[in-house]
Structure 1
Amino acid sequence: MSFELFGEKGGSILSVVNNLKIAVASSIFLPSLKLKFDEDQEKLALKDKKSEFRLIEPNAIVKYLGSISNNNTKSFFQKSSLIEYEESEIYSSLVNNNFENINFSKINIDKVDSKSVEQIILFSSLYPFVSKLNENEQPLWFKEFSKIPEVSQNIALITSTIKVERLKDVNDGHVNVEPGYEVKTFDGEILPKEGEKNILITSALPYVNNVPHLGNIVGSVLSADIYSRYCKSRNYNSLFICGTDEYGTATETKALEEKVSPMDLCTKYFKIHSDVYKWFQIGFDYFGRTTTDKQTEIAQEIFLKLNENGFLETQVMKQLYCPEHQGYLADRYVEGECPKCHYEDARGDQCDLCGNLLDPFELINPRCKLDNSRPEPRNSEHVFLSLQKLEPKLREWVEKASAEGNWSKNARTITNSWLNEGLKPRCITRDLKWGTPVPLEEFKDKVLYVWFDAPIGYISITANYSNDNWKKWWKNPENVQLYQFMGKDNVPFHTVVFPSTEIGTGENWTLLHHLSTTEYLQYEGGKFSKSRSIGVFGDNAEASGVPPSVWRYYLSSIRPETSDSQFSWAEFVSKNNNELLANLGNLVNRLVKFVNAKYNGVIPKTQINVTLIEGHEAVMADINSLLKQYVEEMEAVHLRKGLEIAMAISSRGNQFLQENKLDNSLYENSPAKCDAVILVGLNIIYLISAIISPYMPETTKQISEMLNAPLLKIPDEFKILLKEGHCINKAQYLFKRIDEKKVDEWRGRYGGKQEKEKKKEDSKKKK
C-alpha cells in the first residue's frame, strides 16, 4: 500500500486536535508517511494512491495506522472505554469550547506508551485545554507523554501554522457579545408576553391548484418572511403563520380534471408548495392547511355567531350549472365567445384577448371547460353576509387602523373604493361538496364560500400550532399587532370582508394593524403563465443552480411595492455580479482573508486605538445615520428600501477600507493603525450580517461562522462588539460569478412558446 496523509486546513481548536492526532500517529506507526497540507484538500484524509481505500475520520485514521503497525487489523475494530469517553464527552467539550466538565478521574493511565492508540487520541484531544494549565495542574501522564520526541516535534509542527496564542491565550469559541445584542432563541411554543412587543404575521394563503411563480412568492410569503425575520432579529416576540388554502370550486374542478379526489389533489400541492418555500428558506413558525377539523370548528362557530347577531340573510342567485358532471361552474370554468371582441376562448370572468371583465351569462355559445357541454342557468338560494349593516363600524375601524398601522397606499386606495361605492350583501355559500359545511339544516348541502372561509384559515392554522392558546394571539388586541402580506388582488377580502366578519361576531378579535401589499411582478415584459410555459416558477428557481440567497436578494430588490416591476434575466445576473459579489462579497472576503493571512485570524490583544483611523468619527456617524434609516424603513415595512440601505452600509464598509488603504504596506509600516482598521472593519461586517439577515439568512449564517460569533440582533446603534483577542475562522465564498451567457439560455428555457418561435424566425433570417 502507498499512503498519502492530508491534514485539515484552518486554525480552529478542532482542526489542531485532528491534525495532531494523525501527525503523531503517522510519526510513531509509519514514519515514512509525511503529513501534507494540500491547497485542494479541504479536509483531512488517509488515502491509498493505488486503490480506492480512504479514511477521513481522525480517530479511525489513528486506529488504522496502529493496526497495520502491529500487523493486527482486528485491533482496528476493537472498542475502548477511554476512546468512547474521548469521542463523547471530550469531543463535546471541544465543539462547545467548554472543558469544565472533563473528568480526569476517568482517565486511568499508569504507564506512558507511545504506541498506544488510546493515549495518542486522548493526549491530542486534551492538548488545547491541558496545555493552558499550570505545570503543577497537568496530569503526570500528560506531561510525560508530551516529552516523547514524535509528540513534541508534531506539537511544534502543527502549532507553527497557527499561532500558539490561538491555543493558549485566546477564546476560540463564539464571542460573548454584550447583554441584549444576541438574537434570542425560542424553545417550544411562541406565545404573546405581557409588556413585550408581540407581532402576529400572516401571508396570503397560497391556493393549491398550481406551482407558485416568483410573483406569488415575492408578493406574499417572501415579503412576510423578510418582515418576520426582521422582527425576530430585533428580538420582538413574533409568530409567522401561513398554510395552503385548499377548499373551493377551483380545487373541486381541478380534481375532476386530474381524476383524483380533492383531498389527494390538495395533499399533492401542499407538498409542492412546502418544498418550494423550504428551498426559498421561508421561515414559517408553522405552515398548515385549511382542510382540518379546527378550520371546520372555528369557521362554523363564527358563521353561527354572525347568524345569531343578525348579520346573515338569504338571497336567490342565478348560476350556470353543468348537467354533464352535475356541478355549478365557477366563472373561470365557463368558456365561450367574447361578446365584445368575439375571441372564441374567452373565460366567464375575463377575455384574455381584449382584457374586458365579463359576466358568464354574457358569453356567446357558453361551454363547460371540463367537458364542453352546454351549461344551463339555475336558481339557488344562498346565505349572504350583510355588509351593509356592518358598514358603519367597519368605516370607523378602517379610518383608525389604516392611519395607525400605516397601510400601504394601494391597500388604502382599494379599500376606500369599496367603501365609496357602498357595501352590499355578499354571498358566503356555494353549491359544492368540497368545503366547510354550512352549519344550518336548510343549507346542509352547501359549503362556505372560499373567500369567507380562507381568512379564517389564519386562525385555525394558529389553533393547530398552539391548540387552545390560539386565542392569546387572535383575541388579544391590547397586546398583539397583526401584520398581513399579500398581492393587491386580495386586499378587499382582508380589509372589508374578513374584518366585517370579526366585528359582526361581537367578540374581541385581534384585527388587522398593518397591511403590506404589492403590485404585479411581470416576466420579461409579459405575464407569468404556467400553461404557456412562460416565467420562472418555484421549482425552476431551484433547478437553476443559483443559491436561494441570490434569488431572495433579487426578488426583494425589485419587490413591486408602489408599481408593477419586471423580472429580467439580465438584471438578475447583473445584480449578482455587480452588487452581491462586487460589494458585499468583496468586503467580507477581502477583510477576513487579510486577518487570517496577517494576524493568524486573531484580532490583536493589545489595546487598540481607533482614533488612529483618519475620519474615524465620520465613518461611525455615516454608519449610524444609515442604520437609523434602515430601522425606520423596516419598521414601516418598506422592505425594498431597507435592502437598499443595507447594501449602502456595505458600500460604506468598502469605502472605509479604501480610505485607510488596508494592504501589506499598512500592516508593515503602520501596525497600530492597521490593527484599528481591522477591528472596526470586522465589526462593520458583523453589523451587516445582522441587517441582511431578513433578506439572506444563509449568507448571515456564513458570515457569523467566518467571524466565529453568534447571530447579532439588529441594533439601534453601531458598536464595537468583536473585541481584542477574538479569533475568527477562515474565509468562505459568499457568492459566485454568473456567466452572462446564462441570460440567453435561461430566457430561452423560460420564455414559453413565443420565445421559441422568435428564435426560429431569427435563425431563418440569419440563413
Structure 2
Amino acid sequence: MASKDKILPKQGQRNVLITSALPYVNNVPHLGNIVGSVLSADVFSRYNKARGRPTLYVCGTDEYGTATETKALEEKVTPEELCRKYNRIHADVYEWFGIAFDIFGRTPTRQHTEISQDVFTKLYRNGFLEEKWTEQPYCESHNRFLADRFIEGTCPTCGYEDARGDQCDKCGVLLDDPLDLIKPRCKVDGATPVRRRTKHTFLLLDKLQPRIEEFTKLSTEKGAWSRNGRIITESWLKKGLKDRGITRDLSWGVPVPLPEYENKVLYVWFEACIGYPSITANYTPEWKQWWHNPDEVKLYQFLGKDNVPFHSVIFPGCQMGSGDNWTMLHHLSATEYLNYENGKFSKSRGVGVFGNNAKDTGVPPDVWRYYLIKNRPETGDTQFEWQAFIDGNNSELLAKLGNFVNRIIKLVNSPKAYNGTIPDAFSASNLPDTFTTPLSEITDLLTQYLAEMEAVRLRSGILLAMKIAEAGNGLIQSHRLDNALIANHPNLAAAVTGTVLNLIYLCSAVFEPYLPATCASIREQLAAPFLQIPSEEELAGAGGWKPTCLKAGHRIGKASYLFTKIDDSKAEYWREMYGGNQEERRKKEEEAAKIAAKKAASKAKAKEKKAAKKDAAGKKEADGDGKAVKGEEAGTMDGEVGAPREEGEVRIADGEAMNEVLDGVAQVTLPKS
C-alpha cells in the first residue's frame, strides 16, 4: 500500500482505532481465541468502515518472553525461527477466516524496541520505576537465571513428577515459588537450580493508582465497557495496586535501556501492549496521528477477560506515567470463555477445534463466522457444539437468508417473470398501503441493529440482521409473490419485487460485517456496488427505511447458492475427529493415511492381477478398459469427490477446503442506502 493510501484520521470525523489482543506465538489459535478477539474486532472494524468512518484495525503476534524460549527449546529451533513459523501460521488462519486487518505485524521490530524503550525511559525519569534486588532460581550448570517454565520437579501437593515451576498440570495447584517443587531441576540440562540475587526494575503502580482510578471512571462511563471488563478492573483497583516487576533475566526480548542491565529484557506484559502503536508505526510513519491524538480518535480494544488488567490498568498507567499525550482506551470489549462440547479448549494440550481444523472441514469461512459470533461469549461462557453448528447453517443461514435471496433472484431472472430486470411499474414513492407496517418494522429492526452495533453488542447485531432477512420473507409470503400474481396483479407484484430486491441489498449491508464473502456474492447477483450502512440521521430524515437504491429498469445478475446443506451425520464424524488433542489427532490422521494408502495399493494390485488374467485368457484389450467394477463407480461412494450431490449438500473432500483470500476492506466513498 503506497504511503498516500494509508488510512489516517480525518479532522472532524469519527475516527476509530481498533486493536485485537496480540496472539502469542506458541500454537495454532483455537476457536475461542478467534472469536474472543480477532473475529470480534474484525466485525466491528467492518461495521465502522461500512459506516464510512476512517477506521484502522491493528493486530500482530506477541513474540517475546519465556514461553517463546521454552517452545523454541522444545522444537529445537531459535526463538526467531519459531516466531517466523507461528506468525505465518496465525496469518494464514486469520486470512482464511476473512479477518481484514489493516496491518498484521510483529513485536520484534526496530519500531517496537524504540517505542518500548522510550516509554520505559520516560517512566523512569518521571519517578514511576524503582530498582530492587530479588532472589531468582539460577542454573549454575549453564550460568543462567531460570524463569518458572524452565524449572520442573515433583509437585509438593499431589506428587506428580513433571510439574512446572508455575503450576502442576495434574492437580492444578499454582506455585508462588518454583523452588517449592520437590527435587527441582532445570528443564535445559537437568541440573538442580539454586537461589541467586538479581536486580530488577518495578513499575510503581501504587503511585499511579489515583490517576488510573480517575481514568477508569471516565472511560467506563463514556465508552460503556463490557461488564466483565469493568468488574475485573474495579476488583484490581479495590485490592490496591502493587509494584510489578517489568524486567526479566532473559535473552529474547526488548533490551532494558539502563546500565548494568545488559543481560535483561523488558517483561513481555510491559511491552506487549506497546505492540499496538509499534505495529502501527510499521504501517505508517504518521502513527502518532492515531496514537497521540486523543481528541480526534476513539480507541476500541478487543480481548479475552484474562487479558483485561493489562489493557485497563497497566497499559493506561504506563501511558499516563510517560507524560505523553496518548490516545487512551475508550471502549474495552472483553469476552468470557467459549467452551468445546462440554469441555474446555486448551492451547497447551491441543484440545478442541483449532483454526486449521475449521479450514479442513470444507465448510466455508462465513458459516464459521456466523456461528461463532452468534455464540460469542459476551456476558457469560458459551458452548461450541457440532450439532448446533450444523443447525446454524441449515436452519438459519440456508433456510432464512439463502433461500430468501435465491428465491427472488431466480424469479426476477425468469423469462416468465421479468427476465432479469426490475419491472418498470415499481416505484418506491407509490407503494400499496399493505407495505406500511412491514416497512415500519424493518425501520425498527434497522434502528435496533445500529444501536446494538454502536454498543459493540455484536451477537444481538447478527440476530437483528437475520430478522431483517426474515421480514423480507414475510413480505413475499404475505403477498404470495409468484407468476400468478405477476400475471393477474402486475402493479402489486412489481411493488413486492422491487421492495424485496432493495431489502436484499440492505441485507448485503447489515450482514457485511459478519458474512463478507456472502455479501459480495449478493452484490454480484444484484449487479450492485458496495452499500454503506445507513445512519440514524439518514433514517430519520427519510422517515424510515425506503426501497430507493435499486430502481425500475435495473438489470440484476444471475442467481447462485449462498449456502449449501450440511448432512447431520457430520456432527458425530467431526466430534470424533476433533475430540482429542492435537498430537492424538495427528497420529489418527497419519494412521488413516497409511490405511488408505495400503487399501489403494491393494486395490491397484488386484486390478493388475485381474488384467493379467484377462490377457492370459486371450480377451480383447478393450474388454478390460473403461468398464467400472461393480460397487465402485466414480462418485457413488458416500463422501467421495464427484458423488451425486443433493441440493444444498456441502462437499467434504479429504480435508480440502474453499480458501477465500480477502485483501481487507478499502476506505472508499460508498453509496448510501
Q: TM-score, normalised by structure 2?
A: 0.82
State the 1:533 CA deviation: 4.4
Counterpart for residue 17 of structure 2: 200
Counterpart for residue 594 of structure 2: none
State the 1:276 CA deviation: 0.7
**Contact between 1:523 and 1:567, CA under 8 Å: does it hold in 2?**
yes
Are 1:403 and 2:221 an aligned pair?
A: yes
Runs of 4+ aligned structure 1 residues displaced above 6 Å come to 753-757
**Contact between 1:748 and 1:756, CA under 8 Å: does it hold in 2?**
no
Secondary structure of 1:525 counterpart: coil
Are 1:256 and 2:256 an aligned pair?
A: no
Q: Which amino acid aligns with 1:732?
A: S
Counterpart for residue 90 of structure 2: 273
Counterpart for residue 305 of structure 2: 488
Distance 1:568 1:322, change over 3 A: farther
Counterpart for residue 289 of structure 1: 106
TM-align CA RMSD: 2.0
Instruction: Choose which of 571, 575, 598 in structure 2 pairs with 1:747.
Output: 575
Secondary structure of 1:442 counterpart: coil
State the 1:254 CA deviation: 1.6
Counterpart for residue 738 of structure 1: 566
Q: Which amino acid aligns with 2:181?
A: L
Distance 1:681 1:316, change over 3 A: same
Counterpart for residue 621 of structure 1: 440
2 CA distance for matches of 1:533 and 1:497?
A: 30
Distance 1:425 1:531, change over 3 A: closer
2 CA distance for matches of 1:268 and 1:753?
A: 21
**Contact between 1:613 and 1:660, CA under 8 Å: does it hold in 2?**
no
Secondary structure of 1:710 counterpart: coil
State the 1:754 CA deviation: 12
1 CA distance for matches of 2:136 and 2:205?
A: 22
Q: Which amino acid aligns with 1:449?
A: Y
Secondary structure of 1:615 counterpart: helix
Q: Which amino acid aligns with 2:556?
A: I
Are 1:551 and 2:368 an aligned pair?
A: yes
Are 1:229 and 2:46 an aligned pair?
A: yes
Counterpart for residue 129 of structure 1: none
Q: Which amino acid aligns with 2:566?
A: I
Are 1:424 and 2:242 an aligned pair?
A: yes
Counterpart for residue 646 of structure 2: none
Distance 1:640 1:602, change over 3 A: same
Are 1:358 and 2:175 an aligned pair?
A: yes
Question: Any idea what the Cα deviations from partners look like across 1:374-430, whole Å, max 9, x if unmatched?
Answer: 333322110011111111111111111111110111111111111111111110001
Summarize the alignment of residues 437-586 of structure 1 with structure 2, pairs less than 5 Å apart.
Answer: 437-467=255-285, 469-529=286-346, 532-586=349-403
Are 1:606 and 2:425 an aligned pair?
A: yes
Secondary structure of 2:376 counterpart: coil
1 CA distance for matches of 2:77 and 2:426?
A: 71
1 CA distance for matches of 2:290 and 2:305?
A: 25
Secondary structure of 1:588 counterpart: helix
Instruction: Choose which of 553, 556, 562 in structure 2 pairs with 1:728.
Output: 556
2 CA distance for matches of 1:544 and 1:594?
A: 33
Greater RCO (Cα-Cα under 8 Å, separation 6 or more): 2
Percent identity between the two aligned chains = 59
Question: Any idea what the Cα deviations from partners look like across 1:494-531, whole Å, max 9, x if unmatched?
Answer: 11111110100111100100000111111111122356
2 CA distance for matches of 1:719 and 1:187?
A: 37
Counterpart for residue 37 of structure 1: none
Secondary structure of 1:599 counterpart: coil
1 CA distance for matches of 2:527 and 2:582?
A: 50
2 CA distance for matches of 1:638 and 1:455?
A: 24
Q: Which amino acid aligns with 2:37?
A: S
Q: Which amino acid aligns with 1:664?
A: N
Question: Any idea what the Cα deviations from partners look like across 1:524-576, whole Å, max 9, x if unmatched?
Answer: 11122356442111111111111000011111011111111111111111100
Q: Which amino acid aligns with 2:376?
A: R
Are 1:698 and 2:525 an aligned pair?
A: no
2 CA distance for matches of 1:608 and 1:485?
A: 44
**Contact between 2:42 and 2:513, CA under 8 Å: does it hold in 1?**
yes
Distance 1:579 1:324, change over 3 A: farther
**Contact between 2:426 and 2:495, CA under 8 Å: does it hold in 1?**
no
Secondary structure of 1:384 counterpart: strand
Are 1:380 and 2:198 an aligned pair?
A: yes
Q: Which amino acid aligns with 2:200?
A: H
State the 1:609 CA deviation: 6.8
Counterpart for residue 64 of structure 2: 247
Secondary structure of 1:644 counterpart: helix
Distance 1:626 1:325, change over 3 A: farther
Question: Any idea what the Cα deviations from partners look like across 1:329-378, whole Å, max 9, x if unmatched?
Answer: 33344333333344444333333343333222333333344544433332
State the 1:462 CA deviation: 0.5
**Contact between 2:428 and 2:499, CA under 8 Å: does it hold in 1?**
no
1 CA distance for matches of 2:578 and 2:493?
A: 50
Instruction: Choose which of 444, 458, 462 in structure 2 pairs with 1:643.
Output: 462
Tell me the matched-pair count: 572
Counterpart for residue 618 of structure 2: none
Question: Any idea what the Cα deviations from partners look like across 1:263-318, whole Å, max 9, x if unmatched?
Answer: 11111111111111111110001111111001111111111111111111011222
Which of 1 and 2 has greater Rg?
1
Instruction: Choose which of 495, 498, 503 in structure 2 pairs with 1:676.
Output: 495
Distance 1:754 1:482, change over 3 A: closer
Are 1:655 and 2:482 an aligned pair?
A: no
Secondary structure of 1:590 counterpart: helix
Summarize the alignment of residues 28-107 of structure 1 with structure 2, pairs less than 5 Å apart.
Answer: none
State the 1:656 CA deviation: 1.3
**Contact between 2:302 and 2:332, CA under 8 Å: does it hold in 1?**
yes
Counterpart for residue 546 of structure 2: 719
Counterpart for residue 433 of structure 1: 251
1 CA distance for matches of 2:28 and 2:264?
A: 29
Secondary structure of 2:5 counterpart: coil
Question: Any idea what the Cα deviations from partners look like across 1:51-108, whole Å, max 9, x if unmatched?
Answer: xxxxxxxxxxxxxxxxxxxxxxxxxxxxxxxxxxxxxxxxxxxxxxxxxxxxxxxxxx
2 CA distance for matches of 1:293 and 1:654?
A: 55
Secondary structure of 1:445 counterpart: coil
Distance 1:370 1:538, change over 3 A: farther
Counterpart for residue 28 of structure 1: none
State the 1:590 CA deviation: 0.5
State the 1:604 CA deviation: 1.2
Q: Which amino acid aligns with 2:79?
A: P
2 CA distance for matches of 1:490 and 1:554?
A: 24
Question: Any idea what the Cα deviations from partners look like across 1:471-494, whole Å, max 9, x if unmatched?
Answer: 111110010110000001111011
Counterpart for residue 127 of structure 1: none
**Contact between 2:29 and 2:347, CA under 8 Å: does it hold in 1?**
no
Distance 1:532 1:617, change over 3 A: same
2 CA distance for matches of 1:206 and 1:284?
A: 14
**Contact between 2:350 and 2:582, CA under 8 Å: does it hold in 1?**
no
Distance 1:344 1:610, change over 3 A: farther
Q: TM-score, normalised by structure 1?
A: 0.72
1 CA distance for matches of 2:195 and 2:434?
A: 78
2 CA distance for matches of 1:712 and 1:535?
A: 37
